[in-house]
Amino acid sequence: MRRLPDPAGSARGDTDDGRSCNASKCNDEVTAWMRRKRLDERAFLQRFGEVVAALRLDPPA
């Protein structure tokens, strides 16, 4: 997706398909998708935290 310039100069990044790319909206969309698919959100977040912690200790080259 290509980002379009924002005439107001804000940090919000509108894409050429008209959707806004702010973090809270994306998080809500991911949460809703996981719940629709009946995925284990808690297990995902725990594993995500483990991966982030491991990468902070030993970042890839």
Q: What is the pLDDT of residue 60?
A: 80
Q: What is the pLDDT of residue 27?
A: 81
C-alpha torsion angle, residues 57, 28, 26, 15 (rounded to 10): -170
Q: What is the pLDDT of residue 10?
A: 45
Q: What is the pLDDT of residue 29?
A: 87
Q: What is the pLDDT of residue 43?
A: 94
Q: Taking the model in full, what pTM does it have?
A: 0.49
Domain ranges of the chain: 23-57
pLDDT tens digits, 2-47 = 554 444 444 444 444 555 556 666 888 888 999 999 999 999 999 9
Longest dimension (CA), the chain: 41
